[in-house]
Amino acid sequence: MVMTSAVEHILCPVCGGRVLVEHSDKVNRCEYCASPVLGPSQSRDCVNHESMLAKASCRVCGDLICEDCMQVRIGDYGGKLFTVVHCEKPECKLESEWAKPLNREFQKLTNFDWSDRTDNVILRVTGLGAILMMLFELFFIIAMIWIQYFTPWGIADPSPIGFIFLRGDLTVILSILGNVMSAIILQTALQVYVHERQLASGAFLLVFLIIEVVFLLARGLFFNLLSFPQAWLVPFLLVSFGAATLMIFTGSLAALGVGWKKRGQVEDAKIRLGLE
């Protein structure tokens, strides 16, 4: 902790922001990240137990408290979980009632540390596959527009690719839909790392991947690519798309397996603790 010469500000140990010292003997709140910052002359002991080092500060009153004095709750804000710590004062309890009390035994029984390494592998495989899928969709739209406007095969009359009003309109519309679908796949692939969403994300990813594959094959047939004179294009598209599909498919199956195991662990914990 660094102090200025006037001892009016201290630096937040979390974000490094300048914190105005309103109370030199009490906790001050960082206005940038809301982290509790101890005052320069504040005792580090629990307010209720002298000579016992405090482990946290109450989010309401700011008093330093030890593990015996703290009450921990889990808050949900915008779909993200975070820990809420408060002391035993009635007003502090009242201010924290919106969060659910932490069941330490339930937390112990539902510890998912065993899956950390597997989850990292699943995230890397599905994430890389989804990125490759987006790159493929980008290449696909560029290739189709190039064929449509800059090759004799594309500008032939009637056009083998087809259009409604303007040459290339269907190419752009269908390719944009493909890019939107690949973006949804990427967003879902990033959710397989979240314990609570892993099972649902894996199932959604698998179903949406099947839709994307069918949509791509339908586009290829609609654009009549099988009759494209340069024979390398179709195999190249299929191999590159197949590599991305295989990675996402493997990751989604792994997410389903691990997510189902976690679900069973949670259900077993509820039964053992009589929470159902």
Lowest-confidence region among 52-61, 117-126, 261-270: 52-61
Is residue 184 within 8 Å of 208, Cβ to Cβ? Answer: yes
C-alpha distances (whole Å) from 275 to each of 33, 178, 199, 260, 268 are: 36, 45, 22, 20, 10
Please write the tens of the pLDDT for every residue from 241-267: 999 999 999 999 999 999 999 999 989
**pLDDT score at 5:** 44
CA-CA distance, 82 to 100, in Å (whole number)?
A: 11
Bigger pLDDT: 25 or 77? 25
Is residue 192 within 8 Å of 255, Cβ to Cβ? Answer: yes
As for how many domains the chain has, the answer is: 3
- Confidence (pTM): 0.69
Q: What is the band of 41 on the pLDDT scale with cuts at 50, 70, 90?
A: confident
Mean pLDDT score across all residues of the chain: 86
**pLDDT score at 214:** 95
Asked whether residue 268 falls in the same domain as residue 155, the answer is yes
Q: 26, 42, 58: which is the final residue of a domain? A: 42
Domain span at residue 23 reads: 1-42
pLDDT of 90 over the 60 cut: yes
Asked whether residue 182 falls in the same domain as residue 268, the answer is yes
Burial 143-164 (b: 16+ CB within 10 A, else e): bbbebbeeeeebeeeebebeee
CA-CA distance, 215 to 236, in Å (whole number)?
A: 18
Does residue 108 sit within a domain?
A: no
Asked whether residue 198 falls in the same domain as residue 228, the answer is yes
Q: Treating both helix axes as pointing N-terminal to C-terminal, what angle do 116-150 and 169-189 enclose, rounded to 10 degrees? A: 170
Is residue 266 within 8 Å of 110, Cβ to Cβ? Answer: yes
**pLDDT score at 3:** 44
